[in-house]
Amino acid sequence: MVKKKGGKQQRGGQGPTAKGGSKSAPPPRPVSGAPPAQPESAAKPAETEEVSPPAASVDVDRPDDEPKKKDHVEDNVAKGPEYAAPGSSAPPSSTAVQKEAGPPLARAAWGKPFVTIERWWTWFEVRLLVVVILGLVFSMVLWVSLQGMSAPVESESKAGLVFRGIVGAIAIGLAAWLGTGKLGLDRMKRTIAAMAGIAVGAAIAPSWRHAGVDYFGNVQNWLQEGSSLTMFGQLRGVSTRLTVVLAFIGGSLAAASGKHINIDVALRFVKDRFKLPVFVLQTAATVVFCVVAGLAFFEYIAITNFNAKPESTRSEKYKVVDDAVAQDLFLWRKQIGFDLSATTHVLGGGKWDDAERLSGRQWNEFLETSGYRDYFTPEQVQSLKSPDEYLDESRLPLAVGPEGPPRNLLVRTMNLTFAAGFFFMALRFLLRLILVLSGHQSIEPESDYDPDADPKRHAEREHAGDVAAHDAGSKDSPSGGEVA
């Protein structure tokens, strides 16, 4: 390009400047054959230009009561992009930022039945978990209480004295606190009265050390030796079995929410486009492991606890276990009947094994009328009957089977919890995999599980997710993000 300055020709790539460095002079005409000059702003790369974000789209179909749901929607922002409200200022989760994997999976219609199944399954497990925890706490507290109240006076253990001191301190201290409250005393005086009551309750424990030893000893003896709890291994056995059930229910809930114990190094260090295939592979391997573990536990329990032959096929072992479990549950139901008749007798001060409760003649009639022949062979039923010379003798009110006394009878049945627990865990992992593939859950565990969910809150979340997906699609459309 040839340019003039001061009457002389000068070659260069710079545009003309006025004297003093001003750039207000108009650009010269280009020389014939040379490319047209471009301004400096046009020479910059397009990617360096800063473009202001488009205005937030407006959803004209949103109902009028949407502001009322703002609080509920904002609570769900942290749970993932499918629950976050549009325009939220909260930082997106890891599933919202997909640099290479593209947009998230759309919610497929075929996955909605599985969403309903998962929701009701979780609803049932949460409530079953509460029942199991309450039963576990109650059994342990009852066992400790009976141990403390029935401890003999001549025993070297101080458990009876300590327990009575704790009970007296709680009772008198609480009574003092509530009594002073009714008198209208201030908080300081009520606290002093309650502390004094606690001290008095602990101090007078030796004075009633003998009280209730025989009575509670008889109750404990009945629960431990002559009730249906005997079949579970007494009160301690009940707490042990409930602990196993509690562990598997918690594992199932964790598997449903993606918060189970796992090695997620693969998901953390692979690229986003490979996370879903890796998740599918991991989940499939976990399902296979749970199924194999459940089968292994079943085989072991069938052979060691139910006396199935090792060389038998799996179907034959299942039949042996099924028949034995049916017999065990039948005896348990019959023992519950004995327990109901013994409850008023024992709590009234009588002994559970009193001679007048059951005789040999009554036992033989019980065998013929209670359904024993539906579960046992005639030879087995005949072997359980009392001989003629013992018809008028007393008999322990226990539901005895051909294998003998019912102590620990249901322990082998409860051991099947391990096999059943692994099978249910496999179904839980498989259900989560289906929900992820159908777009109704994400791989990230933080955005999936809400134990307090109800149908109304789920509807709000689904509405918020639909709004977010609609706005995201509008922003990616060529129209610039405006909704018609």
pLDDT at 34: 47
Cα separation of 273 and 469, whole Å?
A: 20
Residue pLDDT, tens place only, 21-77: 444 445 555 444 444 454 444 444 444 444 444 444 444 444 444 444 444 444 444
CA dist 384 to 251, 324, 379, 380, Å? 43, 17, 9, 7
Residue with tokens 């609480």: 174
- Predicted confidence (pLDDT) per residue in 34-44, tens digit: 444 544 444 44
Residue bearing the bigger pLDDT, 473 or 424? 424
pLDDT value, residue 237: 87
326-345: per-residue pLDDT in tens? 999 999 999 999 999 899 99
**Per-residue pLDDT band at 274 (split at 50, 70, 90):** confident
SS3 for the chain, per residue? CEEEECCEEEECCCCCCCCCCCCCCCCCCCCCCCCCCCCHHHHCCHHHCCCCCCCCCCCCCCCCCHHHHHHHHHHCHHHCCCCCCCCCCCCCCCCCCCCCCCCCCCCCHHHHHHHHHHHHHHHHHHHHHHHHHHHHHHHHHHHHHHHHHCCCCCCCCCHHHHHHHHHHHHHHHHHHHHHHHHCCCCHHHHHHHHHHHHHHHHHCHHHHCCCCHHHHHHHHHHHHHCCHHHHHCHHHHHHHHHHHHHHHHHHHHHHHHCCCCCCCHHHHHCCHHHHHHHHHHHHHHHHHHHHHHHHHHHHHHHHHCCCCCCCCCHHHHHHHHHHHHHHHHHHHHHHHHHHHHHHHHHHCCCCCCCCCCCEHHHHHHHHHHCCHHHCCCHHHHHHHCCCHHHCCCECCCCCCECCECCCCCCHHHHHHHHHHHHHHHHHHHHHHHHHHHCCCCCCCHHHCCCCCCCHHHHHHHHHHHHHHHHHHHHHCCCCCCCCC
Rg (CA), the chain: 38
- Given a cut of 80, whether residue 253 has pLDDT beyond it is yes
Q: How far apart are the first and last CA of the chain?
A: 51
CA separation for the pair 374, 329 (Å, rounded): 13
The rounded percent of the chain whose pLDDT value lies above 70 is 70
User: Looking at the predicted structure, is the pLDDT value of residue 317 above 50?
Assistant: yes
C-alpha to C-alpha distance for 59 and 86, rounded to whole angstroms = 10
Contact of 443 with 95, CB cutoff 8 Å: yes
Give the pLDDT band (50/70/90) at residue 457: low
pLDDT of 283 over the 60 cut = yes
Alpha-carbon distance of 221 to 297, in angstroms, equals 34
pLDDT of residue 263: 54
pLDDT value at residue 62: 45
- The mean pLDDT value for 456-465 works out to 66
Angle at 365 between CA 359 and CA 366, to 5 degrees: 85
Dihedral over alpha carbons 254, 259, 261, 266 (to 10 degrees): 140
What is the distance between the alpha carbons of residues 10 and 18, in angstroms, rounded to a whole number?
Answer: 15
Residue 117, CB-side half-sphere exposure with 13 Å CA sphere: 12
CA 279, chain centre distance (Å): 21
Helix axes 112-149, 213-225, angle to 10 degrees: 140
Q: Which residue has the higher pLDDT, 367 or 84?
A: 367
C-alpha 57/C-alpha 479 separation (Å) is: 11
Is pLDDT of 247 > 50?
A: yes
91-111 b/e with 16+ CB inside 10 Å = b?
A: eebbbbeeeeeeebbebeeeb
Question: Could you report the per-residue pLDDT of 120-171, keeping only the tens digit for each?
Answer: 999 999 999 999 999 999 999 999 999 889 888 877 778 888 999 999 999 9
Task: Residue 240: name the closest of 132, 360, 325 by CA.
Answer: 132
pLDDT tens digit string along 84-120?
444 444 444 444 434 444 445 678 888 899 999 999 9
Q: How far apart are CA 239 and CA 314, in angstroms?
A: 31
Q: Which two tokens stand for residue 96?
A: 């919202």
Does the pLDDT value for residue 445 go beyond 80? no
Please compute the mean of the pLDDT values over residues 307-316 and round it to a whole number: 92
Residue 78 has pLDDT above 50, yes or no: no
Cα–Cα distance for residue pair 86/75, rounded to 1 Å: 13
Residue from 136, 137, 162, 133 nearest 147 by CA: 162
Q: What is the pLDDT of residue 158?
A: 84
- For the residues 248-266, what does the mean pLDDT come to? 75
Give dist(CA 218, CA 435) in Å, integer. 55
pTM, 2 dp: 0.64
**C-beta separation of 382 from 372 below 8 A:** no
Check residue 264 and give its pLDDT. 60
How far is the C-alpha of 152 from the C-alpha of 144, rounded, in Å?
Answer: 14
Q: What is the mean pLDDT of residues 400-420?
A: 90
The dihedrals phi and psi of 406, each to the nearest 5 degrees, come to -80, 10
The tens digit of pLDDT for each residue in 168-185 reads: 999 999 999 999 999 989
Instruction: Judge whether 193 and 160 are in contact, CB under 8 Å.
Output: no
**Which tens digits make up the pLDDT trace of 415-436?**
999 999 999 999 999 999 999 8
The percent of residues in the chain predicted with pLDDT above 90, rounded, is: 41
Beta bridge partners of 322: none
Q: What is the chain's mean pLDDT, rounded?
A: 77
